[in-house]
């Protein structure tokens, strides 16, 4: 296994729940991400902001993990947004149409300003 560690931690800023992701998003990231999402949504917030700044690699199985998270958020009527993606992964989120279902912001200030708490 050459998989780099993946971490996901929830925090709050100005009433917005942010999940800071780091490392490599792949098929092994699912459980960690789901746990962080569970923690993030304990307060019943209506949206979750994913921070991809420290993510250096996302593969197709990682895309699947994100899709599964979006699907779960959808059933709970929660909005998922993101920031910190490199140009390359922004392109991938566009090609896969993930960005149609998950607004992508340039940075955290921007995202927090526009995301409802």
Partner 1 sequence: MSVFPGRLRKVTLGGRRKAQGASAAPEREAVAGMADVPPVDIASNDPIIAYFQAASGAVDLEGLELESPARDALRAAGVKMVVPLVSQGELIGLLNLGPRLSEQEYSTDDRKLLTNLASQAAPAVRVGQLVREQQAEARSRERIDQELRVATLVQQQFLPKELPELGGWEVAAHYRPAREVSGDFYDFIELPEGRIGIVAGDVTDKGVPAALVMATTRSILRGEATHAAGPGEVLRRANDLLVPDIPPQMFVTCLYGVLDPATGRFRYANAGHNLPYVATADGVVEMRARGMPLGLMPGMDYEEKEGTIGPGESVLLHSDGLAEAHSPDGEMFGFPRVMKLMEGSGGGSEMIDVLLEELDRWHGRDAEQEDDITLVTLKRSASAGVTMSADEPQEELTSTAPAAPGRTSSNGRADDSVQVLDEFTLASEEGNERLVMERVTGAVAGLPLGSKRLERLKTAVAEATMNAIEHGNQNKAELPVSVRVMATDDDVQVHITDLGGANEVPDDTETPDLEAKLAGMQTPRGWGLFLIKNMVDDMQVTTDGDHHTIELTLHLKGDGNDD
CA–CA distance, 10 with 20 (Å, rounded to integer): 6
Query: Please, which residue, 14 or 91, has the CB nearer to partner 1?
Result: 91
Closest CB 55 distance from partner 1, rounded Å: 14
Closest CB 51 distance from partner 1, rounded Å: 20
List of residues contacting partner 1 (CB under 8 A): 1-5, 24, 57, 59-61, 63-65, 67-68, 70-71, 74-75, 86-88, 91-92, 95-98, 100-101
| Residue position matching structure tokens 């490599």 | 24
Closest CB 84 distance from partner 1, rounded Å: 16
Query: Please, which residue, 15 or 38, has the CB nearer to partner 1?
Result: 38
């Amino acid at each position: 296994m050459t998989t780099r560690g993946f971490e996901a931690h929830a925090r709050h800023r100005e009433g917005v729940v942010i999940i800071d992701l780091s490392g490599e998003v792949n098929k092994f990231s699912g459980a960690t991400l789901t746990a962080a999402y569970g923690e993030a949504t304990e307060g019943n917030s209506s949206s979750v902001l994913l921070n991809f700044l420290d993510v250096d690699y996302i593969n197709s199985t990682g895309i699947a993990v994100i899709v599964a998270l979006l699907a779960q958020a959808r059933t709970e009527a929660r909005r998922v947004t993101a920031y910190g993606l490199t140009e390359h992964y922004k392109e991938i989120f566009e090609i896969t149409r993930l960005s149609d279902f998950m607004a992508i912001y340039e940075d955290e200030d921007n995202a927090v300003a526009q995301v409802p708490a």
